[in-house]
Amino acid sequence: MSEISDLIRVNISVGGYEKAYSIGRDALQESECDRDEIIAALCELTARLRSDCMGLAVKKNDFGADYDALENLLRKANELTGQDMYGFFKAK
């Protein structure tokens, strides 16, 4: 595993989702990055965000600033990974 993907995963584990996203986004802009490793780590981020959003929805808490921030971050991360809101990869 690359150092960058490890850093993304560490931030995910401590709830630093925005930081994990930023690290992944910036790394993907570099030409010498291990793209597959970073995308895999970002997929872990989208899975966690999706789970958190679903957990809030089940509790009828799918509204407000906190939920909107999670959902918006999920949408941005999905753009990097090529996933849709359900975690499926979009056809290219």
- For 19-71, how does the pLDDT look when each residue is reduced to its tens digit (9 = 90+)? 999 999 999 999 888 999 999 999 999 999 999 999 999 999 888 999 999 99
- At residue 82, the pLDDT reads 95
Measured CA to CA, the distance from residue 64 to residue 89 in angstroms comes to 28
How many domains, in total, are found in the chain? 1
DSSP β-bridge partners for residue 29: none
Residue 75 forms part of a structural domain: yes
> Domain range holding 15?
3-81
Residue 88 forms part of a structural domain: no
Lowest mean pLDDT among 14-18, 20-24, 42-46, 88-92: 88-92
- At residue 32, the pLDDT reads 84
Q: Which of 9, 1, 85, 3 is nearest to 41 (CA)?
A: 9
Residue 92 forms part of a structural domain: no
- Residues belonging to the chain: 92
- At residue 33, the pLDDT reads 83
